Chain A
Amino acid sequence: GAVVSQHPSWVICKSGTSVKIECRSLDFQATTMFWYRQFPKQSLMLMATSNEGSKATYEQGVEKDKFLINHASLTLSTLTVTSAHPEDSSFYICSASWDRVSKNIQYFGAGTRLSVL
Chain B
Amino acid sequence: AQTVTQSQPEMSVQEAETVTLSCTYDTSESDYYLFWYKQPPSRQMILVIRQEAYKQQNATENRFSVNFQKAAKSFSLKISDSQLGDAAMYFCAYRTYNNNDMRFGAGTRLTVKP
Contact = CB atoms under 8 A, between A and B. Distances in A.
Given A43-B104, A46-B103, A95-B45, 9 more contacts: A38-B43, A43-B106, A43-B107, A44-B91, A44-B104, A49-B101, A103-B50, A104-B33, A108-B44
Interface in A58-106: 91, 93, 95, 97, 99, 103-106
A105 B100 contact: no
Nearest to B92: A43
Interface of B: 33, 35, 37, 42-47, 50, 91, 95, 100-107
B41 to A, nearest CB: 12
Interface residues of A, number: 22
Contact of B43 (A42, A91, A95, A103): A91
Instruction: Choose among B45, B50, B107 the residue with the greatest number of A CB atoms under 10 Å from its CB.
Output: B45
Top-10 shortest CB links A-B: A108-B45, A43-B104, A110-B44, A44-B104, A43-B106, A111-B43, A32-B100, A104-B33, A43-B107, A49-B100
A97 B35 CA distance: 14
A34 B102 contact: yes
Interface SS majority for chain A = strand
A99 B102 CA distance: 13
Nearest to B37: A108
A93 B105 contact: no
A34 B100 contact: yes
Contacts of B105: 43
Interface string A21-43: 00000000000101000100011
A34 B50 CA distance: 19
Nearest to A97: B100
Contacts of B106: 42-43
A43 B104 CA distance: 7
14 contacts: A34-B102, A43-B107, A44-B45, A46-B101, A91-B43, A93-B45, A95-B45, A99-B100, A103-B50, A105-B35, A108-B37, A108-B46, A111-B43, A111-B44
